[in-house]
Amino acid sequence: MWLQRELRLKARPRGFHLITDEVRERLPELAAIETGMLNVFIKHTSASLTINENADPTVRADFESYFSRAVPEDEPYYQHTLEGSDDLPAHLKASILGASVTIPITGGELNLGTWQGIYLCEHRNHGGARTVVITMQGEAGR
């Protein structure tokens, strides 16, 4: 059984944002899968997806602080500067964090740990709405 769907995620400010509930709500068919996998893929090169702590919002704030220091803007050696100071660092962060997450499905649910959630990582100052492709496959329960 395969299911694929594109999701439009509304524009969010630069930073890290939990989208687990939004993904789940758009996937009612999940309940029918006994064993499977979910892949969420972002169709952009200046935003990314990762899995991390779903509770304390200071984790997401610290992610933004850390990554914006680890991948600084306006380095004198950057050549790709025409699209703004935040553009090349956004591409770098996108590759460090990755364009997709893959999550096991077990008994009709995403088999995440208690504290795990899916983050949309918005690396641009004004990134706009973002599109993700959700691909689910698996076998139905008996």
To a second copy, the closest distance from the beta carbon of 35 in angstroms equals 5
The binding site for a second copy (CB under 8 A) comprises 2-4, 35-37, 39, 41-45, 50-53, 56, 58-59, 61-63, 65-66, 69-71, 75, 77-80, 88, 91-92, 94-104, 106, 111-116, 119, 131, 133, 135, 137-139
Residue 11 DSSP code? P
Nearer to a second copy, 115 or 125 (CB): 115
Burial 18-39 (b: 16+ CB within 10 A, else e): bbbebbeeebeebeebeebebb
To a second copy, the closest distance from the beta carbon of 113 in angstroms equals 3
Q: Where are the beta strands (DSSP E) in the chain?
A: 2-9, 15-18, 33-42, 47-53, 100-106, 109-110, 116-122, 130-140
To a second copy, the closest distance from the beta carbon of 87 in angstroms equals 9
Helical H runs in 9-132? 20-25, 57-70, 87-97
To a second copy, the closest distance from the beta carbon of 11 in angstroms equals 16
Strand, helix or coil at 132?
strand
Nearer to a second copy, 22 or 100 (CB): 100
